[in-house]
Amino acid sequence: MSYDRDAVPAPVPGLRLLPWESEGGKPCFLSADGAGGVLSRLADEIEAEQLCDGADVLKGAVAVLDDGKAGEHALRRALRATTQSFGDVLRVADSRGARLPVAAHGDHEADDRELRAETT
């Protein structure tokens, strides 16, 4: 599974981006009413695991990079694991960010996608 932020539709109010994809590789969404149903709790647990896994992968990647004798195979494995974990963490961040309350004072904060477009 890989996460492409630009391929995921903009967040729709009331829909939660889930930490898994459909069999066809499409993003999955949950109509969340804030009640914390079974799927919502499962998604929370998977997100927590993904974040913990990301921390472990980061430690492993640092160890490989610090090993002057690490070969190409070890570096490629570390980079593959790191990119997978980074995609998971971005998905979690996007999912959680989309569920943050909108500023009530009327300020229109720039959408995360707009910020990315401005920096490229």
Three-state SS string across 94-110, please?
HHHHHCCCCCCCCCCCC
- Highest mean predicted confidence (pLDDT) among 35-39, 95-99, 113-117: 95-99
* pTM for the predicted model, two decimal places: 0.76
Whether residue 109 contacts residue 67, with contact meaning beta carbons closer than 8 Å, is answered with: no
For CA atoms 69, 74, 80, 81, the dihedral sign is: negative
For residue 6, pLDDT beyond 60: yes
The pLDDT value given to residue 81: 97
Residue-wise pLDDT tens digits, 55-91: 999 999 999 999 999 999 999 999 999 999 999 999 9
What pLDDT is stored for residue 105 in this prediction?
Answer: 62
Q: What would the DSSP string read from start to end of 27-64?
A: EEEEE--SS--HHHHHHHHHHHHHHHHHHHHHHHHHHH
Q: Which pLDDT does position 117 carry in this prediction?
A: 54
